[in-house]
Structure formats: C-alpha cells, structure tokens
Amino acid sequence: MKDEITEVKMNGDEILTNSELEKRLKELPDWKIVHEDSMNKLMREYAFDNFTEVLDFTKLIKKLATQEDHQPVLKSTWGKVSIYWWTHTLFGIQERDLFMASECDRIYMQFKNETNTEN
C-alpha cells in the first residue's frame, strides 16, 4: 500500500443526492447503498480464504482510515469483511465516502494480488 493517499477534493460538506449516488456507483459496482439508522451508507463485503487474511486486511483499512481521519464501520467474520462508509456528522454519503470506498477496492486488489503470489 502506498504511504500517501491522494487528497480528494471535497464537494463541500454536502450529502450526495440519490441521483448523484446512482451515477457515481457505476464507478464502484461492488458497492451498494444501504439505508440504516435513517440514513444512507455505502457497503461492500470482501471475501477471504481465512481469518488471518481478514485481520490483515482490516489492519490495512485501519491504516487508511487513520491517514484520512475518516473511520468506517468494519464487521469481520471468518472469510468476510463488511465495510460501511458514510459521513457521521452529515448523516449521509458525501464525495469523501466514495473516495474511501474506491481506496478500499484498491487496497483489496493489491492485497489479493500479494496473497496470491505468496501461495
């Protein structure tokens, strides 16, 4: 994982509309919008071969979240990590959340490539 994350230009502090989200989710086909706690959240599940991989990937997401000072909800179980992004203070999804989702996908692809070359 690269040490510096490209800074995202924020769309102010605005929640994206449903039509904006639909358009942007075409760039993130594995992510979906879930409506929980009276707000929209981005969610994706990632698959792994074992619990060690789950924990290693979770640590990489922690590093990203710490660098960007934007924390997701992570749910880890054997063979699966579910990640939820939304902006807690705005009670919805903004541009920054889409950026973070995209970074998670990048980290996952790199992680899986490295894991496959080790085996």
Q: How far is CA 32 from CA 12, 41, 113, 117, in A?
A: 23, 8, 24, 30
pLDDT of 7? 36
pLDDT of 1? 35
pLDDT of 115? 86
- The topology (CATH level 3) of 19-114 is Gyrase A; domain 2 (3.30.1360)
Angle at CA 106, nearest 5°, toward 102 and 110?
Answer: 170
d(CA 52, CA 69): 25
d(CA 100, CA 8): 9
pLDDT of 10? 44
Domain boundaries, the chain: 19-114
d(CA 3, CA 17): 32
pLDDT in tens, 23-35: 999 999 999 999 9
| Per-position pLDDT tens, the chain of length 119 | 333 333 333 445 789 999 999 999 999 999 999 999 999 999 999 999 999 999 999 999 999 999 999 999 999 999 999 999 999 999 999 999 999 999 999 999 999 999 887 76
pLDDT of 116? 80
Task: Looking at 15-94, list the stretches that DSSP marks H as alpha helix, in order from N- to C-terminal side.
Answer: 18-25, 51-68
